[in-house]
Amino acid sequence: MKLPVIRLVGKERWDCQSCGDCCRHNIIRLDEEDLRKLRDQHWEHDAEFGNQTFLVPDARAEGRFRLAGRADGSCVFLTSERRCRIHEKFGAEAKPLTCRLFPLQLIPHEKNALLTLRRACPTAAADEGRPLAEHLPVVQRLLVHGEVTVSPGRPAAFDERSWQHATRILAAGEKMFSDERYPPVRRVVHALLFAKLLDRPKVARLKEAELAELITVLEPSVVSEAGQYFASRRPPGSLGGLLFRLTATEYVRLHPDFRPPQGMSGRGKLLRATWRMMRGRGALPPLHPTFPATTFAALEQPLGELHPSLLKPEVLRPIERYLALSAASYQYALANRSGWSILQSIRALALTFPIALYLLRWATAGREPTVADAAKIVCALDRGQGYPALAGARHRLVLSLLEYPGDLERIVTWYAR
């Protein structure tokens, strides 16, 4: 059996701190082997576990089931000590494959696979722990045993004629999101302008050499064109502001500290909160239990006035790393967004930057933000990659509506003031 060549993205770090965040608000779909193991464990006879339901039908799962969750969003197997009940009783190898592999992620490329981290884990988002290379044997062992398989990746929908075309676009996007000659906000605007210039019917028909030449010309041109957005720094239009706030609301629900309100009253509370986010005036709704009270007007203030410490590089480092490493691994374009073009994926990744700054303002209103605060925001951004509301046709439509009047660039520069 020939195994794929595995490459590492960069100097990522991670170790499990038993925080239990990965056991909340995540859907764990099971394959046939996962089901066999769980049924052989005979949880129905466990006196402490009782008669709890631990499997839920799921047509999207290979084994047609997923792990059950509690009303608060936690996995049915998560204990009050934030430990996995399966792990405690039967060992790590007895857990479902998804749980054993997380937050490690293999991204299939044309002839190899790239190992990176899901930054939905707070420790991974903060780059704390052992180097990623030390976790490689775990993945290699799973590959040897056939528990993990990697098929050659498929180019994104921008151009399915060849990997060469797709890789040209992805490599250029990586360069723009990672270019340390410019601050993060400038890199994001460069990437947006690059996607705008490529998003033309004639470009999609270019041959390989022609596309390479065009990209060489476009890279310096977006740098000069970006200046106009920083000279004016205008807020988005009314529709752009509304769509931005509603998108931020979706990410709030993915924050690791979020606890969804329960019952009919809870659903009513979410509906009222969504309505207030649409209006965008007065006090922000109490959407997140740990986010302090503040106003929409306060979140529109420049960063230097609202939080001087946000201008310190270390506070925004987790967000900057998220952008750069997502681009370096091509994770943002090749994982969890089926049917998206590369250019649409570039816009989705770019939008996470102002969303992150908006949520960081909100989460730390009235106090100085910390690196830990930024890492939790990054967890929410990463979870959005597989979240239906942020990975499907509706979000593509939102991005198109923001792109047409130029609101995407204005949103980025406005919230990074």
Q: What is the 3-state secondary structure (H, E, C) of 99-161?
A: HHHCCEEEEECCCEEEEEECCCCHHHHCCCCEEHHHHHHHHHHHHHCCCCCCCCCCCCCCCCC
Please check whether residue 287 is in contact with residue 342, taking contact to mean a CB–CB distance below 8 angstroms: no
Q: Which residues contact 40 (CB under 8 A, 6 or more apart)?
A: none
Q: What is the pLDDT of residue 158?
A: 45
Q: What is the pLDDT of residue 416?
A: 86
Q: Which residues contact 106 (CB under 8 A, 6 or more apart)?
A: 6, 113, 114, 115, 139, 148, 150
**What distance in Å separates the CA atoms of residue 375 and residue 285, rounded to the nearest whole number?**
23
Beta strands 112-117; 5-8: pairing state: parallel
Q: What is the pLDDT of residue 270?
A: 80
Helices then strands, counting H and E runs in the chain, come out as 20, 8
Q: What angle do CA 47, 51, 52 make, to 5 degrees?
A: 115
Look at residue 37 and give its three-state secondary structure.
helix
Cβ-based burial of 401 (10 A; exposed 0-12, middle 13-18, buried ≥19): middle
Q: What is the pLDDT of residue 21?
A: 87
Look at residue 295 and give its three-state secondary structure.
strand
Please check whether residue 250 is in contact with residue 390, taking contact to mean a CB–CB distance below 8 angstroms: yes
* Regions of the chain with pLDDT less than 50: 1, 157-160
What separation in angstroms does the CA of 169 have from each of 191, 211, 346? 11, 9, 10
Report the percentage of the chain scoring pLDDT > 70. 95
- Is the whole-model pTM more than 0.75? yes
- Overall size of the chain counted in residues: 417
Rg (CA), the chain: 22
